[in-house]
Amino acid sequence: MKSTTTLSAIPIRTPYIDEILTGTKTWEIRSKNTKKLGPVALIRSGSGTVVATAKIANVIELTPSLARSNAHRMGMTVEDAETCAGCYAWVLEDVVRLKSPVPYKHPSGAVTWVTLDEPTTHQVNEVSNSSRL
């Protein structure tokens, strides 16, 4: 029996997804921790499309001083970053903007994670690989 892996995807609202795609934001801030490290897809919330792939390299619980000193990684001002104490920074690396967004079916109620089906995962990986060139 053939084993395939599906990608987990993170819905991210505009303008934050745009900051990640341009590289000005490398930490995605979430209220919850995750144990999922490694490759993920990035979804532009409300668009019905996967727009990038990335790797979650680390998860960091934010203290007030850590948030202040890394505000630039969070795409925030120092003052706004202070409000993130107690949140988690999902550290994104190897972000690849897809040359053409890949449509997917958004399951009802999915907020933090979406598990892409096998055909969508395959298409995202193909477009991601060709977008690296």
Reported as a pLDDT band with limits 50, 70 and 90, residue 3 is very low
Counting the structural domains of the chain, the total is 1
Instruction: List the Cα angle 20/44/49 in 5-degree steps.
Output: 130
Q: H or E element: which one contains 118?
A: helix 118-131
Mean residue pLDDT across the chain:
94
In the predicted structure, residue 17 carries a pLDDT above the cut 90: yes
Q: What is the pLDDT of residue 4?
A: 57
Q: Give this prediction's pTM.
A: 0.93
Domain that holds residue 80: 8-108
- CATH code for position 18: 2.30.130.30
In the predicted structure, residue 10 carries a pLDDT above the cut 90: yes
Tokens found for residue 91: 């550290």
Cα–Cα distance, 42 to 44 (Å, whole number): 7
* Amino acid at position 25, single letter: K
Instruction: Please check whether residue 116 lies inside any domain of the structure.
Output: no
Instruction: Please check whether residue 104 lies inside any domain of the structure.
Output: yes
